[in-house]
Amino acid sequence: MNETLIETKKTRDLKVMLIDGYLDEPSCLGVPPYVSPHVRYAYGALLDLGIEPAHLIYATIDQLRQSRNEYLDAARSTDAVIVIAGATVPGRYLGGRPISTREISELGSAIHPVPLILGGPIVLCQEMIPGVSIMCGEIAAISLQEILGDRSIPDKGAGHLWAESIARFAVLGAELTPLHPSFPYIVCELETFRGCPRRENCAFCSEGKKQVRYQRPVTDIVAEVEALARLGNRYYRLGCQSDLFLYGASTREGQLYPEPAVLRDLYQGIRQAAPELEVLHMDNANPASIMRDPKAAETIMEIICRHNTPGDVAAFGLESADPVVLAANRVETSPEETLAAIRLMNQIGGQRQDGIPRLLPGLNFLHGLVGERPETMQINLRYLQRLLDEDLLVRRINIRQVLTWGGYKATRVAPHRFQAYKDKVNDEINKPMLQKVFPIGTLLPNVHIEEVQGQMSFGRQLGTYPILVGIPGEESLGKILDVRVIDHGYRSITALPTPFCINQASVAQLAALPGVGRKRAMRLFLAQPIRDAHHIEELLEGQVDLGTILPWIDFSI
């Protein structure tokens, strides 16, 4: 294909469409509001080839779905269409839906004879898909330079050469972000290193498929952030790595140990490059790395909490509290080691700023793993109960079923048992945990409305693992609100705008006030304008205690 393109056009004259099909892999998230480095690198690689921005069309898969004919016509006028995709872990998303293999195949057929080039994590786990002309190698940006520009690919073992190319692409690729339909309200996922540094990977994980591995220098990451910030980006997540605590790690006696000085340089550099940032969060930490050197890990947590923004989460991949399952799947950490890491992170990161913990752990559990037994679910439940018993906080508990790819032989889990188990976790663990993490009255600033269903609007803050917020009433999509928590669900919370302008409130919003209900809400609504706290107490006939809510009720007309 490269020869055909080069024969007809010079590389710099090519017209190319780049489609962000979204991705979700163990070490990276690229589903809105997150924008993956993979797609930014690809865009930067195209610019690096000399292709003019005017000849590049960028679109998300959701834009293509919404205006299919328009984008298909545009695609047919190009010399090549590139799709970056790959959801290699199970997930449910509010901001977008990753492209499916069926959609990829249909797109290839619809634009034929224009070639469809496929890249991203999908190439690690997927055989050739009908309709796809070329599958990229591991790193699409590098492959695109070979396919479209006839540039050579470094040897897989020469990680420093890959990192040098990525450094160029990352800075150039920042130019993609203003083209995103949600800009500037996007979270730029940042990569620190590629591949799992463990000598033996977890049996179910796609990280083990990666043959190209590199570590990015602090200076390269800071330069990328500087380029992103210059374009107006304010939201960042150090989420593209398998374990942030091992960035810049040193090797001693065959083991990797965290190096606080490297993380200090990284966080300080990002803060200097983007002094006006509004979010700086992280993802992915291995409890085994933390507890291998607790003192160094404690220092790193202090560094993170000094430079991050509140609401940060370090996801711990325990996957199962059943030691039989952990051994069968080569998971490095243990339940006790993970519990010790949770205690340490609570001690350092549990301090609240503006009512929100600075840094909390999250817990990932996978079911259907090799070695799972009938008693595994009960073992997990007992483990989670220990967290509540010790008054430990975790921001999220993510329970999923393993994806069976790459020949992994999953254990069948009966759907009814799995659902009953999840319901029990929700009732006994998730709801009490949310009540501890987000007490009634907690202020959540800058909640972005993403969906409206009847008399309820749903939104989230930008950041890592943001809590889903249900806001009674019909708010407009895209509206940004400051809200305060009034109730808790299993995996979401209910909140009302603050200040709560009671004389402009709808019946649905009034009914959501703790203890009010629809009948009393109608009484309040018909009595508007409500003059003051004494007036509202009269209307409620002393039957409802709004003591915790009154300080943020606005009685102005």
How far is Cα 415 from Cα 421, in angstroms, rounded to an integer? 10
How far is Cα 524 from Cα 544, in angstroms, rounded to an integer? 12
pLDDT score recorded for residue 429: 97
Give me the residues paired with residue 214 across strands: 194
Q: Give the length of the chain.
A: 557
Q: What is the CA radius of gyration of the chain?
A: 25
**DSSP character string of 220-257:** HHHHHHHHHHHTT--EEEEEESS-GGGTT-EEETTEEE
Helices (H) and strands (E) in the chain, counts: 20, 26
Residue with the larger pLDDT of the pair 360 and 541: 360
Q: Return all residues near 198 (Cβ < 8 A) that are at least 6 apart.
A: 332
pLDDT band at residue 200 under the 50/70/90 scheme: confident
Question: What percent of the chain is predicted at pLDDT more than 90?
Answer: 83
DSSP-derived 3-state class of residue 467: coil
How far is Cα 312 from Cα 353, in angstroms, rounded to an integer? 11
pLDDT score recorded for residue 125: 78
Residue 208 has pLDDT above 60, yes or no: yes
Q: Return all residues near 363 (Cβ < 8 A) that are at least 6 apart.
A: 315, 316, 318, 338, 342, 384, 394, 396, 397, 398
Residue 419 has pLDDT above 60, yes or no: yes
Which DSSP letter does residue 354 get? T
Which DSSP letter does residue 308 get? S
CA dihedral 362, 367, 369, 374 (to 10 degrees): 130
Which candidate, 153, 36, 40, places its Cα nearest to that of 88? Answer: 36
> In degrees, to the nearest 5, what angle opens at C-alpha 266 toward C-alphas 138 and 351?
115
What is the average per-residue pLDDT within 162-185?
97
Which candidate, 120, 97, 107, places its Cα nearest to that of 27? Answer: 120
How far is Cα 285 from Cα 313, in angstroms, rounded to an integer? 10
pLDDT, mean over the chain: 93
How far is Cα 315 from Cα 398, in angstroms, rounded to an integer? 9
* Domains defined along the chain, listed by start: 1-238 (no CATH), 243-437 (3.30.750.200), 443-554 (2.40.50.140)
What are the tokens at 125?
């786990």
Residue with the larger pLDDT of the pair 269 and 404: 269
The amino acid at residue 338 is: T
Kindly list the distances between the CA atom of residue 310 and the CA atoms of 205, 239, 279, in Å, as whole numbers in the listed order: 30, 16, 8
pLDDT score recorded for residue 8: 66
Residue 325 has pLDDT above 70, yes or no: yes
How far is Cα 406 from Cα 222, in angstroms, rounded to an integer? 35
Kindly list the distances between the CA atom of residue 467 and the CA atoms of 102, 139, 146, 397, 493, in Å, as whole numbers in the listed order: 31, 32, 42, 12, 7
Tell me the residue ranges of DSSP E strands in 305-442.
312-319, 352-353, 356-357, 359-367, 397-401
Q: Is the dihedral of CA 20, 26, 32, 34 positive or negative?
A: negative
Give residue-wise pLDDT tens across range 248-279: 999 998 899 999 999 999 999 999 999 999 99
Which candidate, 492, 528, 491, 489, places its Cα nearest to that of 509? Answer: 528
DSSP-derived 3-state class of residue 481: strand
Give residue-wise pLDDT tens across range 222-258: 999 999 999 999 999 999 999 999 999 999 988 999 9
Please tell me the pTM assigned to this model: 0.94
Residue 1 has pLDDT above 60, yes or no: no
CA dihedral 526, 527, 529, 535 (to 10 degrees): -150
Give residue-wise pLDDT tens across range 85-120: 998 776 778 888 999 999 999 999 999 999 999 999
**DSSP character string of 382-413:** HHHHHHHHTT---S-EEEEE----TT--PPP-
| Backbone φ, ψ for residue 174 (5° rounding) | -55, -25
pLDDT score recorded for residue 7: 55
Residue 410 has pLDDT above 70, yes or no: yes
pLDDT score recorded for residue 209: 81
Kindly list the distances between the CA atom of residue 505 and the CA atoms of 458, 475, 486, 509, 528, in Å, as whole numbers in the listed order: 17, 12, 15, 6, 9
Which candidate, 194, 198, 227, places its Cα nearest to that of 213? Answer: 194
pLDDT score recorded for residue 164: 96
CB-based contacts of 417-422 (< 8 A; 24+ apart in sequence)? 417/377, 418/367, 421/377, 421/380, 421/381
**CB-CB contact of 12 with 37 (8 Å):** no
Q: Return all residues near 456 (Cβ < 8 A) that are at least 6 apart.
A: 470, 471, 472, 473, 508
pLDDT score recorded for residue 157: 85
DSSP-derived 3-state class of residue 434: helix
What are the tokens at 483?
């809200």
What are the tokens at 256?
């990797």
pLDDT score recorded for residue 128: 85
Before 374, cis peptide (omega within 30)? no
**DSSP character string of 150-192:** -PPPPPTT-HHHHHHHHHHHHHHHGGGGGGSTTTTS-EEEEES
Kindly list the distances between the CA atom of residue 201 and the CA atoms of 146, 160, 399, 403, in Å, as whole numbers in the listed order: 30, 22, 21, 16
pLDDT score recorded for residue 415: 94
